[in-house]
Each structure stands twice: as C-alpha cells, then as structure tokens.
Amino acid sequence: MGLRNPGCLTAGRGAFPPAGSLERVSSITTAPIANDPSFENVWQELVYRGLVHVSTDAVALEALLAGDPITYYCGFDPTAPSLHLGNLVQILVLRRLQLAGHKPLGLVGGSTGLIGDPGGRDSERALNPVETVEEWVGYLRAQIERFLSFEGDNAARMVNNLDWTAPMSAIDFLRGIGKHFRVGTMLKKDSVSARLNSDAGISYTEFSYQILQGMDFLELYRRYDCVLQTGGSDQWGNLTSGTDLIHRVEGTSVHAIGTPLITNSDGTKFGKSAGNAIWLDPAMCSPYAFYQFWLNSDDADVATRLKVFTFLTRTEIEALEQKIADEPFRREAQRRLAWEVTAFVHGADAASAAIAASQALFGQGELASLDADTLAAALRELPNITVPSGITVAQALVDTGLCASLGEARRAVAQGGVSLDNEKVADEASIITGTLPGGVSVLRRGKKTLAGIFIEG
C-alpha cells in the first residue's frame, strides 16, 4: 500500500486541487521558447529571473553578453542515470544564452563523474563502476541535446572531458596543471573546508576534483575560445578554479556565473544530496508526477519558479503574481507553471495527458480513455494497493485506508458515498476486477478521497 515512484518527490493523498480548479486541456497554449524582448540584453533578463546568485565582474559580464557571440559552457556529471531539477536550471541558462546568439558547449563529465564532487555532501561519495559511468554519460548527453539547438551559426556542441583527461599521465597532470594550484587556496573552498571539518574528512580523490574542473575550463578555452562557465552557486569554488587557472596560465580573464540553489520558501533544497530529486527521465519521475510537483507549489514559491523555469515574459509573470494576490484559491499561477515546465521537459502531449488524468480522477473525464501508463502513474500518487482479483469494495476500502473498518466501509457504501471507476457502488460485496486500462481501478470515498487498485496479473 502507498507505492511510490522511487527517487521522485510526489504529491500524496489530499494534494490534488479541487475538481473545479482543473483546467481544460484544449484551453492551454505553451509560451514560445524565446527571451523576453522587453530587456535590453540577456544579462538583464538573467538578473530579473534571479538566475545570477554570484558572478565574476557583473559590469564586464553584461558588456560581454550584450556584444558579439561568445562560447560558454556548463558541465554535468554522470552521477545518476538522469538529470534532475537542479540540472534543469543550468539547461535553461544554456538555452537562454543560446537564444541571445551565444554558442553553448554542453559538457558531460566522463572523467569528473568517475571522481565525484565533494560539494553538498558530508561523506565520501561511493565511486561507481566505469561501465556504469559510461552508460550514464550517454543518458545525460541525450537529455541535454533535447533542449539545445545544433543548427545555425551558434549551434551547440557536446563535449566529454574524458577525451582530454584519459590520455594524460599522472606526471603530465601534476607538472602541467597541478603546479598552478596552491593548497592553501584549495583548502579555503567552501566544499573542501566543510568536509575537512566533518567527521568523514575528505580524500585526495575528491580534493582533486576542483583541479579537474579547472582544467576543463582551460581546455575549452584553448579549443573553442570558451570564456564563460555557468553552474550552481554551490559549485562556485570549482567555477573559480577554472577562472583562476586560465588567468594564471594564459594571462587573460574569463567569467563565471553561479545560479541560486532551488529551494522552497522554507529553505528546503531539492536534489540528489537532499534525497528528494525531481528527475527529468520519465521512467524515474512520470510526467504526471512531474506535473503534480509544480501544481502543488506553494504561493510563496510560484513566482520565483515562473521566472526561473518558464519562458513567460515579465508582463505575463506579473499578471500571474497579481492573480496569486487577488485570487489565490484559483491557483492559476500554479497551473500555468505546471503546464509550461511539463510541456518543456516532456512535451505538450504528456502535459495534456497529465491534466486529463487529473480531470478523469475527479469525474470530469473518462478514465477508460486514458493511456495505461499515465493512469498507472496517477494512481501511484494516491494510496494504492496491489491485490489478486476477487477483492471486494468493502475490503479494498479498508486495505487502502479510506475506511478504518469493514463496518465503516459498509456504512459508507450504504450512504451512497463510494464510487468505483467513477460509478457509484450500491453493494459493498461488489468485486473489483480492474477494468480500466492496465488492469487497474479507482476507488473513491466522498468527493476528494481516492485510492488506486492494481490487480495482479
């Protein structure tokens, strides 16, 4: 009972919005993927959207991004088989800069993924097998490629840091790169100092991570004239390892932007290290669960998320902010947020299917018309049980927790307060056979309390 999609934060019982607040699929259109023309340059838009938590010289950066096209990059380590919500922030920054005419490099860390970043952890990361990391490199590369354009004058390019790290001997690494790093400076990095002060300490392997990331920036500067790196603000020490190395070796200044960490208004962080990652792979977090996550955003969080995760213009966002202030019960801003991000990541069809499932669960659509995968994903967000065929409605009410006892279940049925697959139940001994797509059924007590029934076989 209560099965969950592992690794994906999901909405539980009682988290669905009232039926009257569910929008019709046909009424929704997706915002165009474009920068807001009301800003003079992309730097100003990044600042407005709260995407610049820390950076190198802001004045120089604005001039750089407002000028001729530059090459910039962001790195993604294959420490899991999918990207997650924090990575999506970086993907959106890459996309916004590309829309402004700049040239993105998407780096998948085939070598750094074998080492492990010490940031955001209080203990040593378990090293994954080489074969696993190689497989995950392919998964992440395919995900990143979906969000960038590989055509035109500013076409994106994918790179793998294993290409220049693997041929290098330890002696070459120490003589060519290691000599430019000062241990005292390395010890002051937040990710390192936090680990040094922990009970676990830090190994030389993870201590050397910042050198590898710094070398990546240097290599991309030499190969592609890359002059900007973006990443999460918790990576700032690693980002500046690259800017410092290039300044020391090449005698030139390059730039870095650190984006804010994504948290709730109460400061709760989302990510693998926090144990509540929202994965971008639909096999790890279904489009339905993904949609529900955004739909259940708190009023205090939704404006920030609209700025960071959607391509809605400032005017559109301000209008939705006013809706939050004037009519928060309508949750219009949350519904627009959920639609925009789900359509961007999973496509408009998947977003429409998620909405259709919500409507059908609350009697505003045909459950039998849903595809089996979407329906199953929706039911896993409810209290649910997997049982052999032959279970009665009364027993299922008890097993799912919708009723505390068989006596209470019988009374609920007698009072006309129970429905199965959106049809009122008249007999508590009725057998649940799982007649909906995928061999499932939806059990409801009252208007808003639901449970999913998965029939074995």
Q: In the beta sheet, which residues pair with residue 76?
A: 108
Spell out the domains of the chain, with CATH numbers in brackets.
1-23+265-372 (1.10.240.10), 51-259 (3.40.50.620), 383-457 (3.10.290.10)
- Please tell me the predicted confidence (pLDDT) of residue 4: 31
> Mean per-residue pLDDT for 58-70?
98
Residues 320 and 303 sit within 8 Å (Cβ to Cβ): yes
b/e 353-389 (16+ beta carbons within 10 angstroms → b) = bbbbbbbbbbeebebeebeebbbbbbbbbbbbbebee
- Please tell me the predicted confidence (pLDDT) of residue 244: 95
Task: Judge whether residue 20 has pLDDT over 70.
Answer: no
Share of the chain above pLDDT 90, in %: 76
Residues in the chain: 457
Q: What are phi and psi of 451, to 5 degrees?
A: -150, 155
- Please tell me the predicted confidence (pLDDT) of residue 384: 95
Of 9-18, 32-41, 201-210, 376-385, where does mean pLDDT reach its minimum? Answer: 9-18
> Mean per-residue pLDDT for 313-340?
96
Task: Judge whether residue 407 has pLDDT over 70.
Answer: yes
Locate all alpha helices (DSSP H) within 296-392, ordered by sequence: 299-309, 314-326, 332-346, 348-361, 372-379
> Mean per-residue pLDDT for 319-346?
96
Could you give the CA distance from residue 126 to residue 112 in angstroms, rounded to a whole number? 13
E strand segments, 40-128: 54-55, 71-76, 103-108
Q: List pLDDT tens digits, range 97-145.
A: 999 999 999 999 999 999 888 765 666 778 899 999 999 999 999 999 9
* Reported confidence tier of residue 8, pLDDT bands at 50, 70, 90: low
Q: List pLDDT tens digits, range 333-362.
A: 999 999 999 999 999 999 999 999 988 988
- Please tell me the predicted confidence (pLDDT) of residue 19: 33
Task: Judge whether residue 24 has pLDDT over 90.
Answer: no
- Please tell me the predicted confidence (pLDDT) of residue 16: 39
Residues 357 and 391 sit within 8 Å (Cβ to Cβ): no
Residue 436's Cα: distance from chain center in Å?
30
